Chain A
């Protein structure tokens, strides 16, 4: 039987090719129940909790409630961050896609450009509860400016500067309000004898690095793309912003050179939680990791990631997870109902705590922490001190090229080299050329 299906498969291929070559092919019908009134949505969720299983545990009752309310079943798959982007790409390429998917909101404009996702136009937006229910900056991440977004915010996240209260008290320091104070504090808290460093940074992670390239440049009022979507990476503000961040390891020496190998935020957060460093800059979902690694909730505080004195007060990009509906879904109405359900106040409150996320709805209160000060700080950052990453189709290329350039520069610094402003400019020029060649 297998042999025969193999033969069938080969025969099919020949025809499949001609389809691919001339017709583009019809979109598949495999992603849902297809026939009859019995509707099943396929939902790809990103990894927000402590493990894929943990995500499943958290989401299952929430999805069950949705099924009870509407009769629509949801087939859940939780996908790790390592795989999510590739899986979405192959889904777009093949049309063999889920109905609803989580995306990192920074990808929104790039994914919008593929034309594979349902635009939330007037009707669709109405069906999920209207655009006014969302925090305006959060919704702005949904797609290119001036277009109907192809994604809507689901979980809000923002960067904050976590500091170890005991270490600060012991050194007689106050949490920093400016970049300069942060560096001075970090230097005082860098004690080689105790193997203690002022800060930990995920200097080997291109996604983390590019966020800080963006934030630091934004503090210098520099943009990465002009109005026409052309890259402007080599501006002075961009170069100085990148260099300022690199200097945490290079000139200020407040971060362990080992950090150049930290290829995700987890490692720097672990250093903070195990009290090897006094400060770490991370998104608010670090809370669960910090606690999981042994630090108690009251032992750390959070302030906005500070800008240099006199610079623009940008402390974070508008981070978070968005929800998108694939255009070729067979269950558009059901999918929209699901999006509405996931973004309503009750569900947001239910999921806010386990996933340590900020509410994306106006007037909602953060529930991810019981620490009122921390909640207020993050709300303030998210609502007033955050700027969306460039909302252009080439955003994904900006992330990978600039991020990887920063990886290399950190590697050079860590291995004893020097990176000057000219080096930064040259590296950003290469990144810019790559982006220009790719679009």
Chain B
């Protein structure tokens, strides 16, 4: 099936053949090199695409990489901490812009994650007991996730147009608005962004939670029913605690995805992104490519990375501690 496997097999398997009689885990000396061989391709790929570029990126954040130097960037002078100072000086226009963008992104991710989780949970619970057509509905709900991101976002962009869009048309038909709302500029841009991101993400939450629900034994519910617990109490006392491990991972993954979401603002707004839709990765992209200041852009990316690491670390620490106590 895979080139890599076949190539790796003969070399790795031979020494193993001679000696082994027990499970692989119990043979520390025998295959000392095998796991490393197995990991090598993954490590190399990660090094090339993730680790080394990240190191270079960190290095870039310490040099003055403006348009005067990008053609010959070994000549770029060291900037010391200057790029960071500019990015973090919130009294100055650049720092203020970054701070605003950060604020928008925090709101965006919190709301999107919360909404996606609630919708995913609502649908997963609704589809928990079997009924006719469940499979079809479940499949249908997965379509937004299966769709390539840009295809879905482009459709939303079309729907959110002011004069020709479906959204205003619907709101007008329902007499909820005069049908002349702007969705892609002004403060509504954030609402649009959240809607579009949720549209795509909730189905992932649904998928994961549904899978988690299937692993809860049915007799737990039966026992609870006998005890007279209603559906809501069953959900609180059985479903929610059972899904805890799934939820822990799900929420973290959703958060990391939304916080560094680039596709949604990029495809939805193009070059005309409004301040209310200025998500942080897009902000950094613009800071780098629009103003040619790759040093400051790199510094902003590093700050973003540090922030995500702190949040993730704290999250794992807090949730880990709590589950140990529980």
Contact = CB atoms under 8 A, between A and B. Distances in A.
Interface string B174-190: 00000010101111100
B66 interface: yes
Contact of A110 (B67, B92, B188): B67
A433 B70 contact: no
A14 B161 CA distance: 48
A415 interface: yes
Nearest to A85: B289
Given A114-B70, A263-B271, A408-B275, A3 B162 contact: no
B162 A439 contact: no
Contacts of B73: 20, 24, 93
B196 to A, nearest CB: 16
A258 B291 contact: no
B97 interface: yes
B68 interface: yes
B151 interface: no
A47 B8 CA distance: 49
B186 A415 contact: yes
A415 B45 CA distance: 49
A95 B163 contact: no
B130 interface: no
Nearest to A25: B74
A13 B48 CA distance: 7
B56 interface: yes
B48 A412 contact: no
A116 B292 CA distance: 14
B71 interface: yes
Interface in A1-48: 2-3, 6-7, 9-10, 13-14, 17, 20-25
Interface residues of A, number: 56
A258 B184 CA distance: 11
A437 B187 CA distance: 27
A9 B48 contact: yes
B156 to A, nearest CB: 14
B44 A7 contact: yes
Given A6-B41, A21-B74, A393-B67, A411 B94 contact: no
Secondary structure class of chain A's binding surface, majority of residues = helix
Interface string A37-68: 00000000000000000000000000000000
B182 A113 contact: no
B7 A3 contact: yes
Interface in B136-174: 161-163
Contacts of B71: 92-93, 95, 114-116, 327
A411 B185 CA distance: 6
A116 B75 CA distance: 13
A408 B162 CA distance: 17
Contacts of A412: 186
B238 to A, nearest CB: 47
Contacts of B74: 20-25
Nearest to B276: A411
B4 A3 contact: yes
A10 B291 CA distance: 31
A270 to B, nearest CB: 11
B50 to A, nearest CB: 12
B59 interface: yes
B291 A396 contact: yes
Nearest to A408: B275
Contacts of A431: 93
Contacts of A9: 48
Nearest to A93: B70
Interface in A308-358: 327
Interface string B32-67: 000000000100110110001001100100000011
Contacts of B44: 6-7, 10
Given A433-B92, A434-B97, A438-B293, A20 B56 contact: yes
A369 interface: no
A397 B59 contact: no
Nearest to A407: B272
Interface in A404-422: 407-408, 410-412, 414-415
A24 B68 contact: no
B67 A411 contact: no
A204 interface: yes
Contacts of B290: 396, 400
B274 interface: yes
Interface in A57-110: 82, 85-86, 89, 92-93, 95, 110
Contact of A411 (B70, B96, B186, B294): B186
A261 interface: yes
Give the one of B48, B52, B59 with max A CB within 10 A: B48
A184 interface: no
B289 A206 contact: no
Interface in B86-127: 86, 92-94, 96-97
Contact of A437 (B92, B292, B294): B92
Contacts of A410: 185
A260 interface: yes
A115 B171 CA distance: 54
Given A86-B289, A415-B182, A430 B162 contact: no
A438 B185 contact: no
A97 to B, nearest CB: 9
B182 A430 contact: no
5 contacts: A260-B185, A263-B271, A400-B290, A411-B274, A434-B93
Interface of B: 3-4, 7, 41, 44-45, 47-48, 52, 55-56, 59, 66-68, 70-75, 86, 92-94, 96-97, 161-163, 180, 182, 184-188, 270-272, 274-275, 286, 289-294, 296
In the complex, the 10 A-B pairs of residues with the closest C-beta atoms, listed nearest first: A24-B74, A433-B93, A263-B272, A116-B71, A411-B185, A415-B186, A10-B44, A434-B93, A437-B94, A10-B48
Given A17-B52, A258-B162, A438-B291, 8 more contacts: A17-B55, A24-B73, A93-B73, A400-B290, A411-B182, A434-B97, A437-B93, A437-B94
